[in-house]
Amino acid sequence: MSMRPAWGPKLFLVLVTTTIVIGNYQRHRERIHLREQLVNGHKVTRNITRLQEEIIANLPPLRIPRLRHHRVTDWDPYFENAEGQGINGSQNVALHLGATALLDCRVAMLSGKKVMWLRRNADWASLLTLGNTTHISDPRYSVSFQYPNNWRLAIAGVRREDRGLYVCQVNTHPPRMLVTNVTVLAPDIRILDEARHELRDRYYKTGSGIELACVARPSCPDSRIPHPVWRKNGETLPDHVNVYHINGSNEDLVTKLYIEQAKKTDSGEYSCSVSQFSTAAVHIHVLNGEKQAAVHHDQWNAARTNCEKLNNLYITIASFVFLQTWMISSS
């Protein structure tokens, strides 16, 4: 009975001390775990920030399109080019003779409005198309819609007379218009004789030689054209007619035609053409001796009459000048 009071308080003190130590140890572990979480979280945040910086550094620069004022405020239709840039005013198109013209009209923000093509000059304007419908009897003209916003006018087999102004118009108020100025590139073709005189008609005597030169010059220095082709009355030349090519001056292409001994059957229209759209022609008349002599006689008489009139005029002027000079010197 005397041992209980001795170890009882000690046991109680040991239990209290053990409880305090265990509690402090658990709180210490929790603090360490929380510190590790904070450190790891900071590392993750820093890695994420570094990754974002790398991604931003590798991204291409942000391009903000420049918006025209009326696009933002009015929301009206406007014209643009193939790159999506707004255009105003007019544009120029150069086309080769016989090619197919493709005139583009890109209209953004059409909003139910109608697109029409007009041909215009100083005195008149004619409607070509309205929407997808063609309003001209010429079958060479057509319109087709090219996605997303291109109302394309096509002209097949371009001719010289197709040059001029073409207007793409939107029926707003006031109307919006895009003017296209079309230039047709056509070679210049001439038919020359031995003396390099341009011909339309020519008379030859039977048995004489005929030599003609067809000279074709490109419409612009950079364009290339084939050698001219000779025909008689729209058909292939007879076998006895010789054709050969020679080098012309500058960029001229020359094709010569030669008949050694002309016959009456060689009379006709000789045409020289580059493709089927650019042509020059000369009428050749082969006559026998009497008729040819009469032709030369009439031409010689007409020339002599003109020369006599010119000589009389010179004599009159000279006499008047001499008389005026004599009167001045006498006074």
Residue identified by tokens 């402090």 is 24
pLDDT of the residue at 45? 63
Structure tokens at 270: 């000789």
The vertex-115 CA angle with 114 and 117, nearest 5°, equals 140
Residue identified by tokens 């080098």 is 247
Domain boundaries, the chain: 78-185, 188-287
Query: Both ends of the chain: CA-CA distance in Å?
Result: 187
pLDDT of the residue at 116? 96
pLDDT of the residue at 308? 57
Q: Cα dihedral sign for 25, 31, 35, 38?
A: positive
| Domains 78-185 and 188-287 belong to one CATH topology | yes
Residue 216 to residue 188: CA distance in whole angstroms: 6
Pairing, β 176-185 against β 90-96: parallel
Low-confidence ranges of the chain (pLDDT < 70): 1-8, 23, 25, 37-49, 51-52, 54-74, 222-223, 289-316, 318-331
User: Which of the four CATH numbers 3.40.50.10320, 1.10.287.110, 2.40.50.840, 2.60.40.10 does domain 188-287 have?
Assistant: 2.60.40.10
List, for residues 6-55, the tens digit of each pLDDT value.
666 777 777 777 777 776 767 777 777 777 766 666 555 666 667 667 66
Q: Cα dihedral sign for 225, 227, 233, 236?
A: negative
pLDDT of the residue at 312? 62
pLDDT of the residue at 204? 93
Structure tokens at 59: 């991204």
Q: Residue 97 contacts by C-beta under 8 Å, 6 or more apart in sequence?
A: 158, 159, 160, 184, 185, 186, 187, 275, 277, 278
Please count the other Cβ atoms lying within 10 Å of the Cβ belonging to residue 202. Answer: 16
- How far is residue 53 from each of residues 7, 58, 63, 191, 292, measured CA to CA in Å? 69, 9, 19, 76, 98
Q: Tell whether domain 78-185 is in CATH 2.60.40.10.
A: yes
